[in-house]
Amino acid sequence: MDRDWGFRLPVSCLCLTKASLLSNYDIRIVAVADVLELRGALLAHPAGSPSITGDDHPSSCHVAARRNEIPVGIGSIYSEPTPDGNPTATWKLHGVAVDHGHRGMGVGALVVERCLEHAAAHGANVVWCTAPAGAFGFFERCGFRRTGDPVDHRGGPQYKLFAEIGPLRRSWSI
């Protein structure tokens, strides 16, 4: 029987090939320490450390896709107003990354889905994130929409994206 997540991502991670490959991954909520190494290896850190302010937020949730107990895909989410100051049940998704040898199989989409599920179960209506030019297409495939003008960063423009996810139709928690 299909699980009722309260929302569905439009990605095609349910095709038989991907579903079969994804069964090799264990997707779960983990401690922040379990995402920092991969985050440090795969994402840029202008401040020099893979930790960000949101990691300490009480609402912060970290998800890892693990293969043989080693995190190969990660993402984090926490309650945070949008850049335009909308404080109403908005959460920020960040630090989404998948190790090179595990890309293209739906791992990233599954990590995003679990993050959104967690936020939805905790009352989020809107989730936002930023992404560079090379990655915003991934978030669009995950149901996000671009908004506003890109913001200039040292590493190139960052695009703002948001997804409306609530309200959840039934309670579900991981």
Ligand X SMILES: CC(C)(COP(=O)(O)OP(=O)(O)OC[C@H]1O[C@@H](n2cnc3c(N)ncnc32)[C@H](O)[C@@H]1OP(=O)(O)O)[C@@H](O)C(=O)NCCC(=O)NCCS
Nearer to ligand X, 100 or 169 (CB): 100
Binders of ligand X among 33-92, rule CB under 6 A?
A: 42-43
Q: Contacting ligand X (CB under 6 A), which of 52, 105, 121, 165?
A: 105
Exposed / middle / buried, residue 7 (Cβ in 10 Å: 0-12, 13-18, 19+): middle
Asked if 104 touches ligand X (CB under 6 A), the answer is yes
Residue 63 contacts residue 29 (beta carbons within 8 Å): yes
Please, what's the b/e burial string for 32-52 (b: 16 or more CB within 10 A of its CB; e: otherwise)?
Answer: bebbbebbeebeeeeeeebbb
| Secondary structure (3-state) at 1 | coil
- Interface residues for ligand X in 106-125 (CB under 6 A)? 106-109
The Cα–Cα gap between 136 and 160 comes to 9
- State which of residues 52, 98, 120, 161 lies at the interface with ligand X (CB under 6 A): 98
> Nearest approach, Cβ of 170 to ligand X (angstroms)?
25
Confirm or reject binding of residue 96 to ligand X (CB under 6 A). yes
Q: How far is the CB of 15 from ligand X (least distance, A)?
A: 8
144 binds ligand X (CB under 6 A): no
DSSP state of 84: T
Residues near ligand X (CB under 6 A) are 11-12, 42-43, 96-98, 103-109, 131, 134-135, 137-138, 141
